[in-house]
């Protein structure tokens, strides 16, 4: 198991510190319309960081800050699909 980065939507009650050195914004929930305007507020990138085989720490970034630090833990995976799974009628 290696380090990985996952993008999660923010909810109202949660706030994270962004681990990018230059960034002093808290990662916090934004109204959907605002979040859609800027990658900066489009959720939070949660990184589970492994040192060798062992989990070491969690880091959090704004999505654009994660890109800014050079995507150290690889591509951002989306969280589980948020689209409802539409049951399809079985024809016949
Ligand atoms: Zn940031």
**Domain span at residue 73?**
4-77
Total domain count, the chain = 1
Look at residue 92 and tell me if it is in a domain.
no
Residue 68 class from Cβ within 10 Å (0-12 exposed, 13-18 middle, 19+ buried)? middle
Q: Which pLDDT belongs to residue 36?
A: 79
Neighbours of ion ligand 1 (CB under 5 A): 18, 20, 23, 62, 65
Look at residue 84 and tell me if it is in a domain.
no
Look at residue 8 and tell me if it is in a domain.
yes
Cα(65) to ligand 1 centroid in Å equals 5
Look at residue 39 and tell me if it is in a domain.
yes
Q: Which pLDDT belongs to residue 72?
A: 95
Provide the phi-psi class of 86: left if phi over 0, else alpha when psi is between -120 and 50, else beta: beta
What is the value of pTM for the model shown? Answer: 0.78
Among residues of the chain, what percentage have pLDDT more than 90? 53
Cα(60) to ligand 1 centroid in Å equals 8
Q: In which residue are the tokens 């959090």 written?
A: 60
Question: DSSP code of 21?
Answer: T
With a cut of 90, say whether residue 35 has pLDDT above it: no
User: What would the two tokens of residue 25 be?
Assistant: 């914004």
């Amino acid at each position: 198991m290696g380090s990985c980065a996952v993008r999660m939507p923010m909810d109202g009650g949660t706030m994270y510190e962004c681990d990018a050195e230059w960034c002093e914004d808290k990662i916090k929930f934004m109204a959907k319309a605002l979040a859609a305007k800027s990658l900066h507020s489009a959720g939070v990138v949660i990184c589970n960081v492994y040192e060798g085989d062992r989990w070491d720490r969690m880091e959090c970034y704004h999505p654009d800050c994660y890109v800014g630090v050079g995507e150290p833990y690889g591509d951002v995976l989306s969280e589980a699909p948020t689209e409802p799974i539409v049951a399809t009628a079985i024809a016949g």
